[in-house]
Chains A and B, each alone.
With several copies, the nearest count.
Chain A
Amino acid sequence: MDRLKVNIGKLELQNPVTTASGTFGYGVEYADFIDLNRLGAIFVKGTTLEPRQGNDYPRMAETPSGMLNSVGLQNKGVDYFIERIYPGIREYNTRIIVNVSGSTLEDYVKCSERLEDLDKVPAIELNISCPNIKEGGMAFGTTCQSAANVTKAVRNVYRKTLIVKLSPNVTDIAAIAKAVEDEGADSVSLVNTFLGMAIDAETRKPRLSTVTGGLSGPCIKPIALRMVWQVYNAVRIPIIGIGGISSAADAIEFMLAGSTAVQIGTYNFIDPAISMKVIDGITDYLSRHKLKSVSEIIGKLEV
C-alpha cells in the first residue's frame, strides 16, 4: 500500500486518512468498529496541562448537517495521559498524535515538553483554535501575532513534528498560516470548529450551557475547503485538511485543494467505520484514475 503514503514534515503516514481530535477519544472507543492500525494517524483527545472538567450539560445541539459542541476540553491532564493512557495505546500500529490545548502560553509549553519524550508520539497538534474555553484557546488562533508567539514558544521546546491547528473564525486564515510557518511549524491542520449558537425558541434559552459552541460536520465543508485552498496558495508546509469529511470524495476534494492528509471528525459519530471506507475509496479512486500515488492529487485542482 505504498501508493497511499504521505509525509507531514519528517513524519511519514501510511495513508492520508486520520481522525480528528475530540471526536475519536483515544481510539479504543472505535476498536469494535474498525482496525485502528489501518489509520494514517489518530489525533487523540485535546490534552491540557491540568485536568479539566469541561463545561456543563448540555454540551451539544444538532444543526442542519452538523452539530454544535461545547465539551470544553474535558480531560484528565497530560500526566494522567502519559501514565495511564499512553501505555495502553502505544502498541497501536499507527501514529498517535496528541492535541495540545491550553489557556496560557505557559500551559502549551509545559504540556508540549512533557510529550516530547513519548517514543510513540511522533508529533503534537497545537490547538490554538478551541472556541469552547473561556481563556486562551481560540484567542491564540485569531491574530497572527499570538499564533506566532505560541508556535515560537512551543517550537523552542518541542523538536518532533509540530502541527498547528488553525481557527476558521478569522478574516484571513492564510496570513495566520504564514505566521506559524515562519515560526517553524512543520504543518498546519485546518479547520477547527466555527463559533456558532443554537436557541430553543420555545424556552427562549440557548441550547448549550455555554451559549455558543463549535460547529462541525458536513455543513462547514465548503468553507473549510476554501480555507485549505487559500492556505495552500500561501504556505509551503504540508496541510492537514479538516471539516465535514463524510466520504472518500470529500477527502479527495480536500487533497485536490492542497491537503496532504485529512482528519475525519464528526462523521465518525454517524458512521464509526467511515475512516475505513474513506481509505478504501481513495485506493479505488487512484485505480480508476490510473494514478500511482496519492501524492499525485495533492493540490492538483485544475483551475
Chain B
Amino acid sequence: MKVLDFTVRSNEPLNYQNNLIKVAPADNEPLPDMHPGQFVQVLVSNSGSVFLRRPISINFVDRGKNEMWLLVQRVGEGTRKICEITAGQTLNLIFPLGNSFSIPHKKGRYLLIGGGVGTAPMLFLGKKLNEKGFSAEFLLGGRSQRDILQISEFERLGSVYCTTEDGSLGEKGFVTDHSVLRNNSYDFIYTCGPKPMMMAVARYANTNKTGCEASLENLMACGFGACLCCIEKTTRGNLCSCTDGPVFNINELTWTD
C-alpha cells in the first residue's frame, strides 16, 4: 500500500453518468503488483463538501503504458468531482487496497457477472484469467443499452452476454434471468454490482452448487483496516470489507438484505 500522486492521462465520458479515467504515477515509477478485485481510495480535493476518500475499483492495468484505469459512475458529489478532473491534473490515491478475487488453478468455465458500474473489476479479472490461459465469459447487466460499458473491451477477452431491464440490448430482464445461466453450468462465478443483484447471483450459485465470490461495496472511511467502519457480518464474525474483503466467498456471507 502507498499514497501516491497520479497524473490523469485521459478522462473520457462513456455515457451520461460514467467516465473512464486513465492515470499513471506522477513520478513515472512502475506500478506495483495489483490484483483484480482490489481498489484505490481517491482523494477528492476539489470539492467543498467531500471529506473522506472514495473507494474505486481497479478497472484495468495497462503495464505497457504503466497506466491504471478507473471507471467511475457519478452518483453523488464525490464521484461527480472525480469525473471533473482533466488530463494533466493530479489525483492522489491510496492503493492497492483490499484482497482480490481468487484466481483458479485449472481450466474451467468461469462466469463473471457485473451489474452497472460493478462491471469495473470484471475487466481486470477477465484479463488476469486470460493471462493464466483460462477463458472467461461475461454476463453484464444494466438498466438500458447505454448503461452497459466497455463491451468491446470485454469482447476481446471472452464471450459477452448482456441483459437490460428495458430489453434495449441483449436479453430483457435482470442478469439472473439470462438464458446462459439456464443453459450452462459453470465452475465458478464472480460477481460485483448492486446488492440485490449479487444476492440473486448468490442464490443461483447456491442452487447450482457453484462456487461464487462477490465484491461488496460497503461504506468505508479509511479503506485499509484502521477504522472498523466497513464491517460485514460473516460466518467468521464481523470482518473488514476493506482488508478481509471487498471480495468474499458467498458461503461466508450472512446477507439478510
- Chain A residues in contact with chain B, CB under 8 A? 22-25, 29-30, 32-33, 53-54, 56-67, 69, 71, 74, 217-218, 266, 268-273
Contacts and interface: CB of A to CB of B under 8 A. Distances in A.
Contacts of B227: 22-23, 60, 69, 71, 269
B221 interface: yes
Nearest to B233: A57
Nearest to B225: A29
Interface string B151-183: 000000000000000000000000000000000
Interface string B199-232: 0000000000000000000111111111111111
B2 interface: yes
Nearest to B224: A29
Contact of A63 (B51, B53, B219, B223): B51
B94 interface: yes
A57 B49 contact: no
Nearest to B232: A57
B226 A270 contact: no
Contact of B3 (A22, A29, A271): A271
Contact of A33 (B1, B218, B233, B237): B1
A30 B222 CA distance: 11
Given A69-B229, A71-B229, A33 B2 contact: yes
B43 interface: yes
Nearest 6 pairs of A and B residues by beta carbon: A60-B229, A269-B222, A32-B1, A29-B226, A25-B226, A29-B225
B52 interface: yes
15 contacts: A22-B227, A23-B226, A29-B224, A33-B1, A33-B3, A54-B228, A59-B231, A64-B49, A65-B49, A69-B221, A71-B228, A74-B231, A218-B49, A269-B227, A271-B3
Given A270-B43, A273-B3, A57 B218 contact: yes
A115 B146 CA distance: 60
Interface of B: 1-3, 43, 48-53, 94, 218-233, 237-238
Q: Which of A69, A71, A272 has the most CB of B within 10 A?
A: A272
A57 B52 contact: no
A60 B51 contact: no
A273 B3 CA distance: 8
Name the residue among B2, B3, B43, B229 with the largest chain A CB count within 10 angstroms: B229
Nearest to B45: A270
Contacts, number: 86
B94 A272 contact: yes
A interface secondary structure, majority: loop
Nearest to A60: B229
Contacts of B49: 64-65, 218
Nearest to A76: B237
Contacts of A63: 51
B74 to A, nearest CB: 17
Nearest to A52: B238
B228 A53 contact: no
A30 B226 contact: yes
Contacts of A69: 221, 227, 229
A58 B219 contact: yes
A208 to B, nearest CB: 10
Given A29-B225, A218-B49, A266-B221, 19 more contacts: A29-B222, A33-B1, A33-B3, A57-B231, A57-B232, A58-B219, A59-B229, A60-B220, A65-B48, A67-B221, A69-B221, A269-B52, A269-B223, A270-B51, A271-B3, A272-B3, A272-B94, A272-B222, A272-B224
B199 to A, nearest CB: 15
Contacts of A61: 219
B130 to A, nearest CB: 30
Contact of A65 (B3, B51, B233): B51
Nearest to A25: B226
B222 A66 contact: no
Given A23-B226, A54-B228, A272-B3, A66 B233 contact: no
Contacts of B43: 270
Contact of B219 (A24, A60, A218): A60
A67 B104 CA distance: 39
Contacts of B52: 62, 67, 269-270
